[in-house]
Each structure stands twice: as C-alpha cells, then as structure tokens.
Structure 1
Amino acid sequence: VVPKMVAYKLLKSAFALPDPVQVVCWEGRLEGLLGELALHALDIVLADTAIPSTVRILGHSHLLGESGVSLFASSKIATKYKKNFPTSLDGAPFLLPTSNAMLRRGMDEWFSEKGITPRVVGEFEDGATMKAFGQAGKGIFPGSTVVDKEISRQYLVRKVGDVPDVREQFYALSVERRLKHPGVLAIVDSAQKIIFRNSKLSSKPGH
C-alpha cells in the first residue's frame, strides 16, 4: 500500500507536463492490479513492494526511492511520549496498519528489537482512516517521513519521533523494462530528483 500523500507527490508531476495527460487512479489489492497491468489496462502500478516472485507476470519493478518512518499523535499524546523516546513508547496506545502491510511488519520488528510492547488500540487497512483516529487522539500512528510536514499539517498532529531503522520502499511496477509513457517518465524523474533525492533509481525483473 502506498500512502495517499506519497502517491499524490509522485503523481502530481504528471499534471505539469506541457502536453496534458489524463491521470486515472485505481486502488486495489496488488494481485488484481498486476493482472490489469499484464493486460495493458494500466500503465504502471505504484506499490510498496517489488513484484512478488510468486506472481506469474512478466514485469519489472522500478525502485523510486525509500523513506524512513515517523510517529505522530495529537498534541496531548505527543507531549507525553516525546520525552525519553523511544523507551517511552512501551505500553503506549498505538494505531497500526493491519498485519498484511509491509509497514506493520517493519514496525513489529522494530518494537521487538527495542523491547517495546505497544498497546495496540486499533488496526487499519486504510491509512487515511488510521490517521483520522490519530487526529482524534486515539493513539500514536506511523507515517512516511518524506511527507511528515504534510501529515502534521493535514491532520493537525505533532511528530512524536523518527524511526529511521524502519524503511518504506516505493516502486513503479510496469510490463516495460524501459519506460516510455511521458506521464510515467515524469513520475519516475520527480521521484528520483525531488521526492527521494537520496535514493538511486533501479530496476529489476519481476521474477
């Protein structure tokens, strides 16, 4: 799952082309989107994982970049848990993605490494819903550091701390090794030069 704020930052460059293009966004499970990609019904799929080896599709995974993770909460909760971060998080109320999400797996590993046992008060498949509960003061939630200012501004929350050890990777999945569509090229170029400046673009086969 690619957070909607990250998706927007990636896609907005396609709107700035001298020759206008129409952007049509579909949301769904990766397997279904890859099926549409194989049928050439989609130009690219934005994802937080490369094409799985178990998926029978001749495609390519273009790494756009990666981001660390930050933790956010309402002002009252952030003030309480910022001090002595991250040990202060033991027993803290957390809002987390569901167990099938790459971000959740990374967070669970980090909790284990740090000896932190969070009090999970909610699990969400939709990141926007998770952030809305965080805005309402229900707990601490993770978000991409690359859009930390946007998260704080849109949801009126404060950063509790950064978790640089947990990394999110973002890919453009395509049936082409060499991308050609001008809108897709604009997205990839923007990701490499602006959004994820410290990451190098790479491509690897889907199998």
Structure 2
Amino acid sequence: MMNYKQLYYFWNVAKHGGVSRAAEQLHLTPQTISGQVKELAQSLGVDLFIQSGRRLKLTPAGDLVFAHAEEIFQTGKALEARLKSRQHHSELLLRVGVSNVVPKSIAFSLLSPALQLPSPVRLNCYEDRLDALFAELAIHNLDLVIADRPLSADTGVKGYNHLLGECSLAFYGTPELAETVKPDFPMSLDGAPLLMPGPDSALPPALERWFGDMDISPQIKAEFDDSGLMKAFGQEGVGLFPAPEVIREQAARQHGVVIAGVTTAITCRYYAITPERRLKHPALEAISRSAQDSLFKTRVETSP
C-alpha cells in the first residue's frame, strides 16, 4: 500500500520546486524530505524527478503521480472544510440527487419534511440524468437519489431501493383540450395530441404497452427529458401530458392545467435510493415517513 506521508512530501517538493523549499514549508530537514521521496520512488518502481540545472524536474511518471497527488490532497482539504463548516453551523447536511424526469412538485413534497425537523438540515440538491446521479452515489458524493425507477443490478452501483410511494397516472391539459378528451376517456386519446417523457423516464414503455392493449394511437407531438419543460408545453395547449395523479393541485395552480382522465393500469412509483440499506439519516427517515403517511396515502378510484 502506498505511503501517503511520502506522497505528501513528494507533492510538496514538486509544488515548491525543490527539496530545500519543501523542507522550509514543512519545517523538516532536507535530508528527511529527500530520503522519503527516494523511498516513494523505489516503492513505485519509477523515477519521479530528474535534475535540471539547480532545479528538480518531474519525469513523465512524476507528472502522473503529481496529478493524482494534487487531486488526493485537494479532496482532503475540501473534506476538512466541509467538516469544519458542518461543526460551525451545527446542522445536518443532506446531499440529494433528483432525476430530471421527477416532477418538481413531487421532489418538493418529498424533500420538504427534511426541513421541518427540530435539528436544522441543509439540503444540497442536484438535478441530472439518472446515470450521472448513480455515478455520484457510487463515490458517496450523494446521500440520496430520488428516481421514478429502482436501481438495477446491471448498473454496477451498490445501492438500496426504498419505495416511497405510488399513485395512478393522469393525463393533464388545458381546460379546453381536456374537455375534448374527458367524455370518452381513454379511447378519446386515439389521435389526440400528446407530449411524452423521454427515455430516461420509466413511463414510456408502460404507456406504449397500454396504448397497444387499448388499440389507440395518440399523436405524439414532442418528447422531453425534463418534466418541467413538458408541463410548460402542456400549459400552452400543445398537447396532453402524462404525470402522477397526486400533483393535480400543484399542476392546476402552477400551470393552469386540469386532469382529462386517470388510469389505474399504469402506476407511477418513486424511490429513495441510498448507499446504505437502512435509512440512518434523520432527514431520510422523515422523507420516507411523510411520503407514505401523507403524499401517497390517498389513492383515487378512477377509470381503467
């Protein structure tokens, strides 16, 4: 295993341009620094420096080692700063990744209980594609990922799925467009203008199967990776759009759209994906409890 003290000495020599300057900065003798760097080079089996006049110059192997050392020690400084900030503010930090296909109102409803705990919680929220969020989860840069699908084994990322809740799927649109669909829903979707979530969402395969079973063919006007952009187009009357039934109030308030119809044949599910099996963080416990007791508690009996 690499000796990180030796790596630290090497990093300082490379950064300050010589053994003597590094020794001054570290308050050590040049002999100590030089001996430790030589031992590091021997353990790695490469030459790290070559003499260039009165200065030491990094070899190509030395450049590679220095680049990695720079990253290692900068990460260490960032960790120290984060811990000091956390102690100073005496608050819990929760780093959350939200899939870009999860409706913003769902994300807010799920996360807001974390901000209502007796102990202060500071949220760091990131929105991105699910594969990018899983990569951050794998290196423990995130405490939680909120997604509309579980983490599958073939991603190669170690994580645990916690089902937060589920609800029926609704089709939303402007009041005028919704009225044209309501009387004979869902058969009235045949030929109706429809906005679809992109392939990152769990919905498209389920919708395609359902359309096939019902023998209906909506007119697909556009596809969107971002749920907020899809709603913006729906607000302007471009087409109907599918979204969870539980956001009906927020959708009406924020976008002026209403439900044209609801189907129980397709279920919207939302997951908290964590690097640990148990939800140990108090904020995670609050999120899970509130989702099951409040947000997803009521299921609406609707058409097939």
TM over 0.5: yes
Moved more, 130-139 or 146-155: 146-155
Instruction: Give the match for residue 181 of structure 2.
Output: 81
Structure ranking higher on relative contact order (CA contacts 8 Å, 6+ apart): 1
Deviations 1:17-57 (A, max 9, x none): 11110011111122221221122211111111111111112
C-alpha distance in 1 between matches for 2:159 and 2:129: 17
The ranges of structure 1 where at least 4 consecutive aligned residues each deviate by more than 4 angstroms after the TM superposition are none
1:103 aligns with 2:229: no
Picking from 156, 164, 172, the partner of 2:272 is 172
Aligned pairs (5 A) from 1:40-59: 40-59=140-159
1:145 aligns with 2:245: yes
Picking from 130, 140, 152, the partner of 2:230 is 130
Tell me by how many angstroms 1:73 deviates: 0.8
1:57 maps to a residue whose letter is V
Instruction: Give the match for residue 118 of structure 1.
Output: 218
Q: How many corresponding residue pairs?
A: 199
1:109 maps to a residue whose letter is R
C-alpha distance in 2 between matches for 1:57 and 1:35: 7
C-alpha distance in 2 between matches for 1:172 and 1:135: 29
Q: TM-score, normalised by structure 2?
A: 0.63
Question: Measured at CA, do residues 11 and 100 of structure 1 come closer, stay the same or move farther in structure 2, by a change above 3 Å?
Answer: closer
Moved more, 8-17 or 76-85: 76-85
1:62 aligns with 2:162: yes
Deviations 1:156-199 (A, max 9, x none): 01210101111111111111111111111111111111112269
2:150 maps to a residue whose letter is A
Instruction: Give the match for residue 30 of structure 1.
Output: 130
1:68 maps to a residue whose letter is S
2:117 maps to a residue whose letter is L
C-alpha distance in 1 between matches for 2:182 and 2:157: 45
Instruction: Give the match for residue 203 of structure 1.
Output: none
Tell me by how many angstroms 1:9 deviates: 0.5
C-alpha distance in 1 between matches for 2:223 and 2:148: 19
Picking from 115, 123, 133, the partner of 1:15 is 115
Stretches of structure 1 that go unaligned for 5 or more consecutive residues are 200-207
1:120 maps to a residue whose letter is I
Instruction: Give the match for residue 94 of structure 1.
Output: 194
Partners of 2:130 and 2:200 within 8 A in 1: no
C-alpha distance in 1 between matches for 2:232 and 2:186: 23
Instruction: Give the match for residue 186 of structure 1.
Output: 286
C-alpha distance in 2 between matches for 1:157 and 1:117: 22
C-alpha distance in 2 between matches for 1:149 and 1:185: 26
More helix by share: 2
Q: C-alpha root-mean-square deviation of aligned residues, in Å?
A: 1.4
Deviations 1:90-114 (A, max 9, x none): 1001111123421122211111111
Percent identity over the alignment?
41
